[in-house]
Amino acid sequence: MSNDRLAALAAAGVSIWLDDLSRERLHSGNLQQLVTDSHVVGVTTNPTIFASALAKGGSYDEQVRELAARGASVEAAVREITVADVQQACDVFSGTWEATRGVDGRVSLEVDPRLAHDTEATVAEALDLWKAVDRPNLLVKIPATEAGLAAITRVLAEGASVNVTLIFSVERYRAVMDAYLDGLDQAAANGHSLAGIASVASFFVSRVDTEIDSRLDAIGTEEASALRGKAAVANSRLAYAAFQQLFSGERWDALAARGARAQRPLWASTGVKNPEFSDTLYVTELVVTDTVNTMPEKTLQAFADHGETRGDVVTGTGEQAQEVFDAVAAVGVDITDVFLVLEEEGVEKFEKSWTELLDTVKGQLDAARA
């Protein structure tokens, strides 16, 4: 039975994606149920999600035994396992993809995060994943590092669709949008249909508050304390203002006339980490059309239970959001350093999860061979 609160969120123009995937969800029918009852129209994955899925239960045992029997390496096994899950998820969402004409029904699969600072290797792996999954509703995830920006353009130029991840600052987000437009220009020059290329830009939310609030706590003044829990929403609202600005004007109009799609902002990391804040904060305060909110199941359930949709709460808030950041800087927070730290930590966390994933699969392969 459809949930009214989630229905209202979707009606406000927010595409609800689940930030989780596992074979258990696929085989049990849970993912399909979320599509049917909870207005979920897409899925995102990352190394942490796959590491957790592989470490639990026996859903992967049969494939692991088959991989072990033919002597697959750990790297090859991880590739086959993750590709198989994403292919099945793409098939679950194929109807959504068709019904929305490719806007939603998307499933994301990330390149090896250890390649985040290597443009050439990222391009090669991204295109390999695109071919391996072989589904039109795939999004290949590429981190928005400096090396990643050139990779984004080159992968799009080959006609592949991209989810740009680990974006923290508006400055880097503008560079991501420029990379997207450059990629579309090159794709058109290479003879690809722009209507078949999709992209989202994953702008991370909760981690911004986590980092800035810890610095505000260290400052300890009344003015600093009053700013806790405000920076992440303000940062995201500034990002949306940048989105509206860039996807207008002559350059974009020319690409749109050839069938190009705007690269929608995707609010990522929307699970609330501070129990002092509302558990639906990063959904309720970021409702605006032409966006995606990818939620962990806990946040999805919280919004279904008590979330509120108050219409568009983002458009026209850029000036107010900038005032928040000006105030944060005025009390002594080094904003530039915040974003540098967040990007470095983001890559490191995914690298750690990737190593855990490799270790888990190695242990399972060894056990199967024994």
Catalytic residues: 141
* Inter-residue long-range contacts of 118-123, CB under 8 Å, 24+ positions, other chains counted: 118/147, 119/147, 119/148, 119/150, 119/151, 119/154, 122/147, 122/148, 122/151, 123/151, 123/154, 123/155
Q: What are phi and psi of 102, to 5 degrees?
A: 85, 0
Residue pair 232/321 in contact by the 8 Å Cβ criterion: no
Whole-angstrom distance, CA of residue 4 vs CA of residue 175: 38
Whole-angstrom distance, CA of residue 166 vs CA of residue 145: 8
**Orientation of helix 318-330 relative to helix 335-369, angle to 10°:** 90
Q: Which residue, among 59, 84, 148, has the nearest Cα to 364 in the 3D structure?
A: 59
Whole-angstrom distance, CA of residue 238 vs CA of residue 64: 45
The letter for the amino acid at 162 is: V
Residue pair 106/42 in contact by the 8 Å Cβ criterion: yes
Residue pair 140/160 in contact by the 8 Å Cβ criterion: yes
Compute, in degrees rounded to 10, the torsion defined by CA atoms 223, 273, 354, 155.
-70
Query: How many Cβ atoms are within 10 Å of 336's Cβ, its own excluded?
Result: 11
Q: Which residue, among 28, 26, 21, 27, has the nearest Cα to 51 in the 3D structure?
A: 21
Whole-angstrom distance, CA of residue 295 vs CA of residue 282: 10
Tokens of 118: 């290597």
In the chain, which ranges are E strands? 14-18, 40-43, 106-110, 138-143, 162-167, 199-204, 264-268, 291-295
Question: Residue for token digits 């568009």?
Answer: 312
